[in-house]
Amino acid sequence: MLPRRRNVRLVLTIGVVAWVAGLFGSWIGAELAEDDITPARTPSTLGIVAAAPREQQLPTLDVYAVAATIAPSVVSIHAQVSRDGVLGAGSGSGVVLTADGEILTNAHVVADATTVTVLVPGETEPRPAVLLAIDEVHDLALLRIEADGLRPATFADPADIHVGDAVVSVGYALDLDGDPTVAVGIVSALHRASSDATKALKGLIQTDAAISSGNSGGPLVNALGQVVGITTFIALDQPGVSANGVGFAISNAEALPQIEQLRAAATQAVPPAEAFLGVSLADRIDGGTGALVQEVVAGSAAADAGLQVGDIVLAVDEEDVSGRAALIATIRGHVPQDHITLSVRRDGDDFTLTVTLGTRPTE
C-alpha cells in the first residue's frame, strides 16, 4: 500500500468477478485450455518491438490516431477459476507482444485460473490461451495463443516519459461488448510504489486517465500510440480520504525486464528463489522519505549487516527509497546472494551498509 499519510484504498482492476478472495500464487507454467487448437507452451523467440529513444517532442495528441494505432494490439482476456470448490470468472485486458501469439497482462487477471481465453480484435470467437509464467510480486503474466500475423504493440523507450505527457488508457473496461474503451489523461507523477501481501511494485506511473474494472493488463500509451506502461490498479475513496483520478500503470522501465524474466521462468522446472533482507518495515509518519526498520530477523542478511530497529533506509545502491513499498519492491527485484549497499540514517547520522541478500524462507 502507499504510505499511510496517503491512506487511500488501492483496488485491482481485474474486471467482473464472481468471488472475492486474496489473489495468490507463484511462478508457474500450466496447461490452462484444451481445444482443437493447442497453443504453444513455450515462449516466443521473437523480440519485443521497442522504439528508439526520441530526439523530438511528442506530437499533439490525436486520440483517434492513437486508438487506431494501438487497438489491434489490445486483447480481451477471460479467466475461469475454481478455488476451494467455488467457481468464479474474471476479465481483463492484454497487450500483444509478438505476431505469433505472446501476450502480456497483469498477474491478478489470470491468477489461479483453470482456463483462460483471449479474444483478438476483429474476431468473434475467443482463442484458448496457455499461461506460460506468472509473477505476482510484479503483477505481470505471460500468455500464449495459437496465432500468426498478430500486430505487436510498440513499447516506448523507458526514459521517454515525463510528468505532463498526454497519455491514453486502452482496455476492455467493465467487459463491455465491442471495441476497447479509450480514455485520455496525463502522466500525473512518476516513480510511485505500492506493496501488499502478494505484490511489490515500484517505478509506477500515476495517471488521471480513466482506468476501470477490466482495464487491468491493458496499455497506457503516448501520443505516438506507443506503450509506456501496463495499467494495473486505481485508488478509491474510503472514509475520511477522497481519491479522484488516481490510477497506476507499471512503467516500461519495470515491465520490459520482467518480460524477459517471465520468458526465462517459463522454461524453468522450478520457480526461482526470492531474495530476503529480513526486516519488518513501516513508513515514516513525520513526512520524511525512507523506510523505517521496525524489526530485524535474527540471523538474517539485515542482522548480519548490522541493520537495527529504528534505522531509516534512504537508498539502495544509490537509488532513493521513497518509503516502505519502494524498499520492498527493490529487494524483491533481486535474487539471493546479490550484494547491495544500503544508505542508512541512525540517530541523525548517515552511513552505508553492505548486505548479501538471503533466501526468503518457505511458508
List, by residue number, the catalytic residues: 108, 139, 216
Residue 321 phi, psi dihedral angles, 5° rounding: -105, 115
What gap in Å lies between CA 34 and CA 40, rounded to an integer? 12
Which helix (DSSP H) or strand (DSSP E) does residue 230 occupy?
strand 227-236
Burial classification of residue 283, based on how many CB atoms lie within 10 Å of its CB (0-12 exposed, 13-18 middle, 19 or more buried): buried
Task: Confirm if 219 and 207 have CB atoms less than 8 A apart.
Answer: no
* Cα separation, 9 vs 218, whole angstroms: 21
Q: Per the structure block, which three cell numbers stand in for 51? A: 522504439
- Grid coordinates representing 178 are 465491442
Q: What is the CA radius of gyration of the chain?
A: 20
Strands 339-346 and 247-251: unpaired
Residues linked to residue 297 through DSSP beta bridges, in sequence order? none
In this structure, which amino acid lies at residue 265?
A
CB 28 within 8 Å of CB 133: yes
CA 101, distance to chain mean position in Å, is 20
3-class DSSP state for residue 174? helix
Q: Give me 78's grid cell.
A: 477471460
**Residue 67 one-letter amino acid:** A
Residue among 108, 120, 122, 143 at smallest CA distance from 15: 108
Instruction: State the first-to-last Cα distance of the chain, in angstroms, to the nearest integer.
Output: 22
Rounded CA gap, 357 and 339, in Å?
6
